[in-house]
Every structure is written in C-alpha cells, then in structure tokens.
C-alpha cells in the first residue's frame, strides 16, 4: 500500500518505518530539511533502539523514502498519516498549530481521494474540525474528491517503540465509513490479530488516547502520594507496591514511586484532558490532581538535596546520573532532571551530568549552559559532594558502588528511582536517600 506520513519525529518515523518493514511503500515528510537530508543518508534524528537499522534496510529496499515536499509524498497515496507534534500551549491546552498547518499543506496539493489519518494525539472533536476545514479547502479549489478523516491514536513507548509498533497490544481506529474501516484493518493485519483491533467512532478514539495516558499517569501520581505518606510514617513504598501489585485486579505496571513522570506525552496529555473537560463545563477533579501531584513530585529531588545541604550550595559538586525522561531514549521533554538541575543551579551548586544518550539533546535545547557534561560515571563522581540518580538506565543499576565510592568527596547518594537496595548502600558507607522508603535527610 502507498502511504504518506507527515511529521517524521518519534512517532512518525517509527510508524512509517514499521509500515515499510511490513511491505508498504512509505514516504516520510518533514519540514526540517536537515532531518530529511540525514535520513536520506541513513542517519536517524532520534535515539530509538533498532530504528536506524530498519531505516537503512527499508530505504535500501526502496520501500522508505524521505522528502520535504508533501506533494511527492501524497502522489498515489491511499493513506496519509498526520504525525506532527501537539505540544502544550501556554494555557495547557493542546496546541494544534502543527496539525492545522499539515492539513492545509495536504489540502493545497492533494489531487485524489485519500484517507487522512490523525496519529497525533488531539483533543476530542479535532477530527470533526479537520473534516470541515478540508472540505472548505476542496471547495476553494473546486475539487470533488473524498477525503475522510480518521483517528488512529498511537500508543508506542519511546525506548521500545519498534517492538510496540511491530507488535502492538492493540490498535484503535476511529472511522465512520466501511471503506475506511476495511483499509485500516488491511494495513494493520500483519501487525495484530483481528481481535486486537478496536474500531469505534472518531470521537471515542480521540478520547481513548487521553484517557489511557491519564490512567497510567494516575497510577504513578497515586504511588507518589503513597510514597510521601510512607516517608511520614516510616513505611517502605517498595514493599507497599509489592503488596498491592500481587492483587491481579491491580497488577504491577506503573506503580513505581519516583521523582515524577516526564516525557512528551503524560504531562501534556493529562493537562490537555482536564482542559478538554473544563471546556465542556466539567470539574475534572481527578485529572487536575494527577497533574498537581506530579508537579510537586518533580521538585522532590531538589528538596531532598536542600534538606541535606541547605539552600546555599556554592562550592558543592552535585553529580546528576541520567537526564532523559526515562531510559532508552534521548527525549528530554518535561524530564524531571530539568526541574532538579534548574533548582540546583539557583542554589549556586556546580552541576555535573552524565547520560548515556541524552546529553546532546539536553545541551542543545533543554538545560542552562552552566551544566558540565562528562563522558563517564567515574569522571562524574570524582570529588562529588553528592550524587543524584534521576534516570534508571540499566547501566546505573549495574554500577559497582564499592569501587566508585572512594572517588567521591562525600558518600551521599539520592536515588530518585529507588533502584538500589538501601541496606546494601548503607553497608557500603553511603548516606542513602530515596523516595518513600523512610530515608530522608530530616529523619
Ligand atoms: N513521542 C511519543 O512517545 C508519542 C507516543 C504516542 C503519541 N504521541 C503523539 O504523537 C504526536 C507526535 O509526537 P512526536 O513525539 O513524534 O513529536 P515530534 O516533535 O518528535 O515530531 C513531530 C515532527 O513533525 C514535524 N512537523 C511539524 N509540522 C510539520 C508539517 N507541517 N509538515 C511536516 N512535518 C511537520 C516536526 O518537524 C517534527 O519532526 C504528538 O501528538 C504526540 O502527542 C507521541
């Protein structure tokens, strides 16, 4: 099948590559020329395990092409996916500018009937808006073609995006016509069994994406609230989690307390959901609270450092382990490390940081210039007054702290993801602080 994908970011590039991997002929469109030029050379603009290899092999097979010219991508395409960004606007609503611009660009040059599939996460009712807009564009151009707007929200997780995309848990399709439903089922047949394809009306599909992300974020914020209670009363949130997760109705996923959720989806989708509800006159008490708990949680690591060292950190070397919002990605959007590092710099600390893949991104657009980036954990920890773990990269779980401890000036470790065994760290002579395990400097 011939497919055009508009927006070659984390979602667009991965889905386009996976569609090509299953034998489709896919053209990726982006407005960023350097991105497209690099992709033509087989260089991925993002770090995503396994992606670059698939880009190279599918490009070589002629199934995956790249262009900045949308007319090239649309030529003979049966489906055109819109996978551009929907970042939060200053008021917290989803900013639909990229989606609207992409639609207008499609509308200005499309010449044949085609299904326009919205993969971007968009507020409920966006499909209806896009439908009206494309119809009026076609009227202006005096063109009588059928351009049905479908919803196909994406559920991939960065870091395991290829696996998620090639073997999705489920596929949600919001479509009205039988023809649209049939073509989407045909596209996804090589990816999932039929019983994992959920076809619904477009409005329900749009809500499904926000509801799913907000539910997962709710579990995290709930556990962070329980963690705070654990700290107050002397309990251990890791034991509490085990006790809860053993209940099959609850399960074990998204129950880790930590320094808050980040990334390009949860923070913005939770906020967008309560704005969508509020625009309908609803209170959205729960979604608002999930966001409130998370904003507070992102401050926690900085609070713990202050509890230990006070507000004046001049002359202190603080070593930050991990910058990306989660392991296996270089995505820095809304990462808890940003909140921590800004707070430390405001207290005049000397901040050193190491991340296996996210330092270029962090330095380019996310962190103040005063951060010192280093190439390995040894250099990071040398003469450090305190280490703060923010991202639970597997390589950090395997660190030999017995060997590393003597490098540090003070053996003080703040574990923002509860990845270490408190007793073992204390046996190694560390002052060890973590989240919800009753190990706080003020205790
Ligand atoms: N990143 C995730 O893990 C994830 C998961 C599920 C859903 N989503 C949703 O998918 C959408 C895309 O997210 P992302 O993380 O891939 O964003 P991204 O910012 O990584 O990628 C968006 C891309 O679209 C390009 N673009 C913008 N306007 C364009 C236009 N008019 N024509 C062509 N290209 C254009 C940008 O240059 C960029 O490369 C968002 O709505 C997001 O909420 C993201």
Q: Decide whether any atom of ligand 1 lies within 6 Å of the 213 Cβ.
A: no
Bridge partner residues of 116 (DSSP): 80, 149
265 is catalytic: yes
- Could you read off the pLDDT of 328-372 as tens digits, one per residue? 999 999 999 999 999 999 999 999 999 999 999 999 999 999 999
The predicted pLDDT at position 223 comes to 98
Integer angstrom CA distances of residue 189 from 22, 124, 161: 10, 27, 19
Mutate to test the pocket of ligand 1, among 15, 85, 156 (most ligand atoms within 8 A of CB): 85
Ligand 1 binding pocket includes 185 (Cβ within 6 Å):
no
Residue 433: pLDDT band (50, 70, 90) is: very high
pLDDT score recorded for residue 429:
97
The contacts of residue 35 (CB under 8 Å, 6+ apart) are: 8, 45
Share of the chain above pLDDT 70, in %: 100
Domain boundaries, given as residue ranges, for the chain = 2-200, 237-433
Counting atoms of ligand 1 from 1, which one is nearest the CA of 269? 43
Residue 396 Cα to ligand 1 middle (Å): 30
Residue of the nearest CA to atom 1 in ligand 1?
A: 10
Give strand ranges (E) for 56-206.
64-67, 79-82, 114-118, 147-151, 171-174, 197-200
Q: Which two tokens stand for residue 327?
A: 């392991």
Which atom of ligand 1 is the closest one to the Cα of 10?
Answer: 16
Would you state the structure tokens that stand for residue 133, as one six-digit string? 């807009």
Check pocket membership of 98 for ligand 1, CB cut-off 6 A.
Answer: yes
Ligand 1, from 5, 74, 84: best to mutate by most atoms within 8 Å of Cβ? Answer: 84
What percentage of the chain exceeds 90 in pLDDT? 100
Judge contact between 220 and 261, C-beta under 8 A: yes
Fold of 2-200: Rossmann fold (3.40.50)
32 lines ligand 1 (CB under 6 A): yes
Q: Whose CA is nearest to atom 25 of ligand 1?
A: 7
Confidence at residue 42, expressed as pLDDT on a 0 to 100 scale: 97
User: What separation in Å is there between the alpha carbon of 84 and the centre of ligand 1?
Assistant: 4
Q: Is the pTM of this model over 0.85?
A: yes
Say whether 237-433 and 2-200 share the same fold: yes
The 10s digit of each residue's pLDDT in 202-236 is 999 999 999 999 999 999 999 999 999 999 999 99
CA of 15 to the centre of ligand 1 (A): 11
Rounded CA-CA distance 266/261 in Å is 7
Q: What's the pLDDT tens digit per position in 127-179?
A: 999 999 999 999 999 999 999 999 999 999 999 999 999 999 999 999 999 99
Instruction: Please indicate whether residue 158, judged by its CB atom, sits closer than 6 Å to ligand 1.
Output: yes
Residue 193 CA to residue 322 CA, distance in Å, equals: 38
Residue 442's pLDDT band (boundaries 50, 70, 90)?
confident
The single residue of 4, 80, 93, 265 carrying the catalytic annotation is: 265
What pLDDT is recorded for position 179? Answer: 98
Whether pLDDT at 443 is above 90: no
Cβ distance 113 to 145 under 8 Å?
yes
What superfamily would CATH give domain 237-433? Answer: NAD(P)-binding Rossmann-like Domain (3.40.50.720)
Residue 301's pLDDT is what?
A: 98
Half-sphere exposure of residue 414: CA atoms within 13 angstroms, side-chain side: 27
Distance, CA of 140 to CA of 349 (rounded, Å): 59
Mutate to test the pocket of ligand 1, among 36, 154, 212 (most ligand atoms within 8 A of CB): 154
- Pocket of ligand 1 contains residue 83 by CB under 6 Å: yes
| Helix (DSSP H) and strand (DSSP E) numbers for the chain | 18, 14
Concatenating the DSSP letter of every residue in 348-415 gives: TPEEEEE-SS-HHHIIIIIS-TTPEE-SSHHHHHTT-SEEEE-S--HHHHT--HHHHGGGSSS-EEEE
């Amino acid at each position: 099948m011939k497919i055009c994908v508009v927006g070659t970011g984390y979602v667009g590039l991965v889905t386009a590559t996976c569609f090509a991997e299953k034998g489709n002929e896919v053209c990726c469109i982006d407005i960023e020329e350097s991105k497209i030029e690099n992709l033509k050379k087989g260089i991925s603009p993002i770090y995503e395990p396994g992606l670059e290899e698939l880009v190279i092999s599918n490009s070589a097979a002629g199934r995956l092409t790249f262009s900045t010219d949308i007319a090239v991508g649309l030529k003979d395409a049966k489906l055109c996916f819109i996978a551009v960004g929907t970042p939060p606007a200053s008021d917290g609503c989803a900013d639909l500018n990229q989606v609207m611009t992409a639609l207008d660009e499609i509308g200005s040059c499309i010449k044949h009937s085609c299904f326009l599939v919205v993969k971007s996460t968009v507020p409920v009712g966006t499909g209806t808006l896009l439908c009206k807009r494309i119809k009026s564009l076609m009227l202006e151009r005096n063109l009588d073609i059928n351009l049905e707007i479908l919803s196909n929200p994406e559920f991939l997780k960065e870091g395991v995006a290829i696996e998620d995309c090639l073997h999705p848990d489920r596929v949600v399709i919001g479509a009205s016509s039988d023809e649209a439903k049939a073509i989407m089922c045909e596209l996804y047949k090589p990816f999932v069994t039929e019983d994992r394809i959920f076809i619904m009306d477009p409005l329900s599909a749009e809500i499904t994406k926000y509801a799913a992300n907000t539910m997962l974020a709710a579990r995290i914020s709930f556990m962070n609230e329980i963690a705070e209670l654990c700290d107050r009363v002397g309990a251990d949130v890791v034991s509490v989690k085990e006790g809860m997760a053993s209940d099959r109705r609850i399960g074990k996923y998204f129950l880790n307390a930590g320094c808050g959720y980040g990334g390009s989806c949860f923070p913005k989708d939770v906020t967008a959901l309560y704005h969508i509800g509020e625009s309908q006159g609803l209170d959205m008490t729960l979604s608002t609270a999930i966001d409130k708990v998370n904003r507070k949680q992102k401050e926690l690591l900085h609070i713990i450092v202050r509890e230990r060292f006070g507000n004046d950190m001049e002359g202190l070397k603080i070593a930050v382990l991990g910058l990306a919002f989660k392991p296996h990605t270089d995505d820095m959007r809304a990462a808890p490390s940003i909140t921590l590092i800004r707070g430390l710099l405001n207290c005049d600390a000397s901040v050193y940081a190491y991340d296996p893949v996210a330092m270029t991104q962090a330095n380019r657009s996310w962190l103040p210039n005063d951060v010192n980036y280093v190439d390995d954990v040894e250099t990071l920890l040398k003469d450090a007054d305190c280490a703060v773990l923010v991202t639970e990269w597997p390589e950090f779980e395997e660190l030999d702290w017995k060997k590393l401890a003597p490098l540090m000036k003070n053996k003080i470790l703040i574990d923002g993801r509860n990845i270490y065994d408190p007793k073992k760290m204390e046996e190694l002579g560390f002052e060890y602080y973590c989240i919800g395990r009753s190990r706080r400097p003020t205790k």
